[in-house]
Structure 1
Amino acid sequence: MLRKTKLKIFYILNTALIALLIGYQVYLNLAETHYASLHLSKIQAIQQVLREKTEFQFVVVGNINNSSSIFQKQFIPRLNNSNAAFLISAGNAVSDGAEQNYRSLIKMLEELHMPWLLTYGENEDSDFGDFRFFEHFGPPFFSFKINNNQFIFLDNTGSTPYAWQLEWLNQELTQSAAHNRFVFLGLPIHPKLDNTPAFTEDNYFNDEEIAQKLHTLLRKHHVDLVFSANLALYANQTIDGVRYITTGGAGGVIVDDKNSYHHFVEVNVSADEVSVSPVIPRISQSSWHRTITSIWSAIYTFFYVSFARFLVVISVLVLIGLKLREVIYEDRDFYTHFTIDDSNYRDKPKRIAFFTNNFFPFISGVTISIDRLANGLRNRGHNVHIIAPDYTGEKQSNSSCTRVKTLFAFGSKGEFRLTNPFQQKIRKTFKQQQPDLVHVHHPFWLGSVGLWFAKRYKCPIIYTYHTRLEMYAHYVPLPGALFRNVISHLIIRRFCNKCDGVVVPTYSTEEYLRLVGVKSRICVQPSGVDFMRFNSPHRLTPVALKKQLGIEQKQLVLVSVSRLGKEKNVKFLIDAIASLDQQTQNHVELVIVGEGDDRHYLENRITETGLQKSIQLVGAVSPENIPGYYQMADIFVFASKSETQGMVILEAMSAGLPVVAIRSSGIDDAIVEGQTGFKTLDDIELWNSKLKLLIEDNVLREKLSKQAIEFARQHDCDIFAQNIDKFYGEVLATYHRSSS
């Protein structure tokens, strides 16, 4: 256990290091530097040094590639002892255009005892390096004059339009009376060399038309020397009177053959001539040793210049290694359900704390389910204490329920409550109860409080997924699509994965949780129904209730029990009945039991469709009388798509009602197609075809009624509590085994 904890700490520290290093990279790219327009000051320094001089020497290097071991340690000391007045990079001074590479290069070049200038090459352009080059040095193409000598720098990487540069170059050369003219290009424009190193055939300038136009201008204006890099070799050739020098040995990887070696180029300028000669520092003895040295230099440079990136790579590799070790070498039990010894917790009294955002007197499927589970567990000898909001007329706590002060209530009757999560009463109750296990029924507010207390006092926590959160987007002050498609699923996944166990009512709900990334242990257990309460004849008889509602005794009655909210899709029932009247001669009446924010809208809808005599909104009905409404009806209809189970369906089945509902995740497992009812797509025509079948076929309706009773009998509250109790035992055994 201790070793596992140490590995976990190591894993977290590595993750933190990666975050820190990535943050550093972001800082490098956003922070301002004091390096700006360096070329201007360097050109001024060159002009100052060579004022009035007709003879001087300068050095050209190519492919420095941020080289520390070659260029910095071996070339710079040699150059500082030379007669060179300044240095020019013919391209690829950096290994790529990342900010840290530019900063490292500038620090390296500042060790030179002479001014320096850079040609804009392929590496300078990579990794969004163009704007960094412009910020640190200036434009990628420019020119300057020293006495009777002109130096022209071009950008042939494609970052700057060629038409513009060609016109500018023509004007510069036409207007110039300089005796010597030097041009610098990052990529070679001459034809491919026969001795081009392997794998570098694509390192030439690839626009033949522009290359020819450049060559024509250079020949026309008698340019003396054209320098370029991008190839790991030294080449000196004259084409149509234009002398092309290719140099790429100042630090990059070389193959060390006859033409590829570490070198720099000395250029001696006098009044009469310009001479060029490569200089090969003594770096190592043998050919293979030179190649190995260049490769090692590239590796060393990567670590030296990009140490932060190196640490990121190492840290990522460590994390991957730790994960692979866990996957490959650590034995894991994929069948933990069968290896848990829960004998110490099975059928033994437990102290359980429920946390819920709503409870009685507010009536809903969730509050009824919570109450049934609490009573079922108490009947099995457990101590269940409920922590819930207070309501008007229900503010006092008692031995089985602590009422938390409500800060804000919303909904048509204030049924949705936001409580004070910091109320001392919660902490006091929790410490007094000393629960063995916490069971929360919502993934936020009091549910989050329950999660915090469970973690704080080291007891396992279980969450029941009662509600499809995404279907309640219209209640949340956020863009509906954002909450429905992203936020709601993230909330559920994050909360579930913090719990030791999750209870879901159907297998389709379990599938959803797995799809969104829930990894916690899941128990599939439908909410229990008090079977005998709904199956036994109610004191409010069908005859009396029909008389009370003004319904003829022989009238076929449909009933639906649902809160009148948008997510319950009650409008579908109204529109379906309006369409049904045109499809069957059998007149039916629909009684909708429930209250909610959409009542006014639904009343108007009933009026618009002329169904005042066919549909009744009877409002809220006391829980004691709900069985009477089921027993009065012949068929139960349901259109909600926001359920995780649809507990009212089991209640209706207990009363012997076949069901016609819209198919959804929570409904799919609650109805056995063609045996206890029908489930269809969200299509009025399809839905009505199944409803019409039950209305017109008395024999089928009676058959499904009997089968519905037998199906509901299997979901009695006692069985519900027994199975949840068993799950409690498994979670407790697993929790205490892993923490020991």
Structure 2
Amino acid sequence: MKVLMVSDVALPRVNGVSTAIATYRNRLDSYGIETRLIAPRYGDEPQEASTTRLPGWRLPFDPEDRLVPPLRMRRAVCEAASNADLIHIQTPFSAHYAAMAAARRFNLPVVATYHTLFEEYLHLYAHALPERATRALARAVSRAQCNALSATIVPSSAMAQRLRDYRITTPLHVLPTGVPLMHFTVVDRAASRARFRARHGIPNDSPLALFVGRIAHEKNLEFLIEALGHAHGVVPELMLLIAGDGPAADRLREVARASGRTDRIRFLGYLDREAGLPECYAAADLFAFASRTETQGLVLVEAMAVGLPVVALAEMGTRDLLATGHGALVPPDDVAAFGAAMARLATDHALRERLGEEARALAREWSDLTLTSRLATLYREIESSHRRAFQRQVSWS
């Protein structure tokens, strides 16, 4: 089976969407699914036979991103779709409309993964519009786009409910992105911890909280810095390590300076997901995550796979992972309570050990192998259903 993936973002641009695309493409071939990707070009990426890179415009509010002109995207997608069995849309911009045009032209089933809850984000970028207007716009566009699809994939049950609230009537399939657990299985955690800390000048006995992800407004990182201040009332030596980059990085550094805790907050920038991140996770004592609008929270699973206990808000997509109560402390959405939970984990070795073991066991349920198998099955079901519907239509005409 041949699946055409179409996206306005892909690696080397690092975010949850690009990570999900790469994870699934790395595994789908094992299940008899051949994929082709059409995505923006960011620089001098190496040529890949199964990937078409298109030049695009830099976005002034987020220079990491590119937007491929709609006509250019449409031509490339229509050309590639002539040899596809199904189209999988990953983003709702140029990629979505180009894919829909190709699906109509070649009578192909088309699915989309609803990766991003734009209702919660759009007002952060469209400053000229009131928040009420941006929320209404995001809901209306999502409803129109999803109701034109054969099916919509969502990474969590909370996202599925939100889309039902939007009055989306096409089938919704809850399917999280899997994590390649072999990349996050640290054989000797003590050695990895020592190496990473020595490399970055962090004392081996300093308690260390870690955040990994894009530095953007929606990640609620100012909340983490404020929570660190509350934790310092109990454990003043606790450090916060922030691994990632993004449009709010400069602003967050200003917040860190204003807090007077720059000696306890370290910014690392992006780390290589396979080479650098596992050691970074192994070096930490706890993982802190305060996003309220996450559709899934892949980094939580990565941290848990290494055996790192988590302190996180159970909001939107993180609820499915945190609902078991295993491997994590889930404080209320209150900065003092969050700081207290960080301090508790930082000072209670036995609790860290117990939650770390629970976290490692829980992460195994989110394996990329298991979840890619489900995606391959879903592709075949949707393609088969579309073919049967078309045959019935032809027989009646």
Q: Which of 372, 375, 399 is 2:26 aligned to?
A: 375
Separation (CA, whole Å) in 2 of partners of 1:393 and 1:489: 36
Matched-pair identity in %? 27
Query: By how many angstroms is 1:538 displaced?
Result: 7.7
What corresponds to 1:384 in structure 2?
A: 35
Separation (CA, whole Å) in 2 of partners of 1:689 and 1:601: 25
- Which secondary structure state, in structure 2, belongs to the residue aligned with residue 352 of structure 1? strand
Query: By how many angstroms is 1:487 displaced?
Result: 0.6
Separation (CA, whole Å) in 2 of partners of 1:722 and 1:653: 22
What corresponds to 2:280 in structure 1?
A: 629
Kept in 2, the 8 Å contact 1:527–1:647? The answer is: yes
Matched, 1:715 2:382: no
More deviation in 596-605 or 461-470? 596-605
Q: Which of 528, 545, 564 is 2:178 aligned to?
A: 528
Structure with higher RCO (Cα < 8 A, 6+ apart): 2
Query: By how many angstroms is 1:555 displaced?
Result: 1.4
Q: Amino acid of the residue matched to residue 594 of structure 1?
A: G
Kept in 1, the 8 Å contact 2:208–2:284? The answer is: yes
Kept in 2, the 8 Å contact 1:558–1:636? The answer is: yes
- Which secondary structure state, in structure 2, belongs to the residue aligned with residue 637 of structure 1? strand
Q: Which of 397, 400, 421 is 2:70 aligned to?
A: 421
What corresponds to 1:450 in structure 2?
A: 99
Cα RMSD (Å): 1.8
Separation (CA, whole Å) in 2 of partners of 1:654 and 1:731: 32
Query: By how many angstroms is 1:617 displaced?
Result: 1.0
User: Which residues in structure 2 correspond to 1:240-251 (within 5 Å)?
Assistant: none
Matched, 1:681 2:300: no
Q: Amino acid of the residue matched to residue 578 of structure 1?
A: G
What corresponds to 2:318 in structure 1?
A: 667
The TM-score with structure 1 as length reference comes to 0.51
Separation (CA, whole Å) in 1 of partners of 2:332 and 2:364: 27
Separation (CA, whole Å) in 1 of partners of 2:138 and 2:111: 19
Separation (CA, whole Å) in 2 of partners of 1:621 and 1:418: 25
Query: By how many angstroms is 1:642 displaced?
Result: 2.4
Query: By how many angstroms is 1:686 displaced?
Result: 1.9
Separation (CA, whole Å) in 2 of partners of 1:393 and 1:709: 37
Kept in 1, the 8 Å contact 2:309–2:356? The answer is: yes
- Which secondary structure state, in structure 2, belongs to the residue aligned with residue 415 of structure 1? strand
Separation (CA, whole Å) in 2 of partners of 1:572 and 1:547: 28
Kept in 1, the 8 Å contact 2:230–2:340? The answer is: no
Q: Which of 331, 349, 358 is 2:9 aligned to?
A: 358
User: Which residues in structure 2 correspond to 1:265-280 (within 5 Å)?
Assistant: none
- Which secondary structure state, in structure 2, belongs to the residue aligned with residue 591 of structure 1? strand
Q: Given the superposition, is the C-alpha separation of residues 684 and 721 from structure 1 closer, same or farther in structure 2, using an over 3 Å criterion?
A: same
Q: Amino acid of the residue matched to residue 724 of structure 1?
A: L
Which has more radius of gyration?
Answer: 1
Separation (CA, whole Å) in 2 of partners of 1:593 and 1:610: 20
- Which secondary structure state, in structure 2, belongs to the residue aligned with residue 439 of structure 1? strand
1:520-554 CA distance string (max 9 Å, x none): 11111111001121013389821121112211111
Q: Amino acid of the residue matched to residue 638 of structure 1?
A: F
Separation (CA, whole Å) in 2 of partners of 1:711 and 1:484: 37
Matched, 1:512 2:162: yes
Query: By how many angstroms is 1:482 displaced?
Result: 3.6
What corresponds to 1:551 in structure 2?
A: 202
Q: Given the superposition, is the C-alpha separation of residues 512 and 442 from structure 1 closer, same or farther in structure 2, using an over 3 Å criterion?
A: same
What corresponds to 2:118 in structure 1?
A: 469
Separation (CA, whole Å) in 2 of partners of 1:526 and 1:538: 29
Separation (CA, whole Å) in 1 of partners of 2:51 and 2:330: 38
Query: By how many angstroms is 1:475 displaced?
Result: 1.9
Q: Amino acid of the residue matched to residue 664 of structure 1?
A: E
Separation (CA, whole Å) in 1 of partners of 2:301 and 2:257: 31
Separation (CA, whole Å) in 1 of partners of 2:177 and 2:299: 10
Runs of 4+ in 1 over 4 A off after TM superposition: none
- Which secondary structure state, in structure 2, belongs to the residue aligned with residue 559 of structure 1? strand
Q: Which of 620, 630, 635 is 2:270 aligned to?
A: 620
Kept in 2, the 8 Å contact 1:541–1:628? The answer is: yes
Separation (CA, whole Å) in 2 of partners of 1:404 and 1:538: 42
Q: What is the number of residues matched between the two proteins?
A: 386
Q: Given the superposition, is the C-alpha separation of residues 487 and 681 from structure 1 closer, same or farther in structure 2, using an over 3 Å criterion?
A: farther
What corresponds to 1:542 in structure 2?
A: 193
- Which secondary structure state, in structure 2, belongs to the residue aligned with residue 563 of structure 1? coil
Structure 1: give runs of 5+ residues left out of the alignment: 1-349
1:77-132 CA distance string (max 9 Å, x none): xxxxxxxxxxxxxxxxxxxxxxxxxxxxxxxxxxxxxxxxxxxxxxxxxxxxxxxx
What corresponds to 1:268 in structure 2?
A: none
Query: By how many angstroms is 1:477 displaced?
Result: 5.8
Separation (CA, whole Å) in 2 of partners of 1:393 and 1:475: 28
Matched, 1:573 2:263: no
Kept in 1, the 8 Å contact 2:208–2:346? The answer is: no
Q: Amino acid of the residue matched to residue 265 of structure 2?
A: I
User: Which residues in structure 2 correspond to 1:50-129 (within 5 Å)?
Assistant: none
Separation (CA, whole Å) in 1 of partners of 2:338 and 2:217: 19
Query: By how many angstroms is 1:706 displaced?
Result: 0.6
Matched, 1:404 2:54: yes
Separation (CA, whole Å) in 2 of partners of 1:353 and 1:375: 14
Structure 2: give runs of 5+ residues left out of the alignment: 392-397
Query: By how many angstroms is 1:483 displaced?
Result: 4.3
Query: By how many angstroms is 1:663 displaced?
Result: 2.4
1:628-687 CA distance string (max 9 Å, x none): 111111111011122100111111110111111122111111214542202233311221
User: Which residues in structure 2 correspond to 1:590-629 (within 5 Å)?
Assistant: 590-623=240-273, 624-629=275-280
Matched, 1:734 2:385: yes
- Which secondary structure state, in structure 1, belongs to the residue aligned with residue 208 of structure 2? strand
Separation (CA, whole Å) in 2 of partners of 1:408 and 1:629: 31
Q: Given the superposition, is the C-alpha separation of residues 571 and 463 from structure 1 closer, same or farther in structure 2, using an over 3 Å criterion?
A: same
Kept in 2, the 8 Å contact 1:673–1:679? The answer is: no
Q: Which of 651, 656, 673 is 2:302 aligned to?
A: 651
- Which secondary structure state, in structure 2, belongs to the residue aligned with residue 509 of structure 1? helix
Q: Given the superposition, is the C-alpha separation of residues 708 and 484 from structure 1 closer, same or farther in structure 2, using an over 3 Å criterion?
A: farther
- Which secondary structure state, in structure 2, belongs to the residue aligned with residue 628 of structure 1? helix
Q: Amino acid of the residue matched to residue 27 of structure 2?
A: G
What corresponds to 2:394 in structure 1?
A: none
Kept in 2, the 8 Å contact 1:592–1:618? The answer is: yes
Matched, 1:430 2:81: yes
Query: By how many angstroms is 1:452 displaced?
Result: 1.6
Q: Amino acid of the residue matched to residue 393 of structure 1?
A: D
Q: Which of 209, 212, 230 is 1:561 aligned to?
A: 212
Kept in 2, the 8 Å contact 1:659–1:671? The answer is: no
1:139-178 CA distance string (max 9 Å, x none): xxxxxxxxxxxxxxxxxxxxxxxxxxxxxxxxxxxxxxxx
Query: By how many angstroms is 1:570 displaced?
Result: 0.8
Separation (CA, whole Å) in 2 of partners of 1:400 and 1:480: 42
- Which secondary structure state, in structure 1, belongs to the residue aligned with residue 108 of structure 2? coil
User: Which residues in structure 2 correspond to 1:245-394 (within 5 Å)?
Assistant: 350-394=1-45
Separation (CA, whole Å) in 2 of partners of 1:738 and 1:428: 25
Separation (CA, whole Å) in 1 of partners of 2:127 and 2:345: 42
Q: Which of 137, 144, 149 is 1:487 aligned to?
A: 137
Separation (CA, whole Å) in 2 of partners of 1:534 and 1:672: 22
Q: Given the superposition, is the C-alpha separation of residues 613 and 719 from structure 1 closer, same or farther in structure 2, using an over 3 Å criterion?
A: same
Separation (CA, whole Å) in 1 of partners of 2:215 and 2:235: 29
Query: By how many angstroms is 1:727 displaced?
Result: 1.0
Q: Amino acid of the residue matched to residue 294 of structure 2?
A: E
Separation (CA, whole Å) in 1 of partners of 2:325 and 2:348: 13
Separation (CA, whole Å) in 2 of partners of 1:483 and 1:628: 44
Query: By how many angstroms is 1:501 displaced?
Result: 1.1
- Which secondary structure state, in structure 1, belongs to the residue aligned with residue 295 of structure 2? coil
Kept in 1, the 8 Å contact 2:78–2:99? The answer is: no
What corresponds to 1:173 in structure 2?
A: none
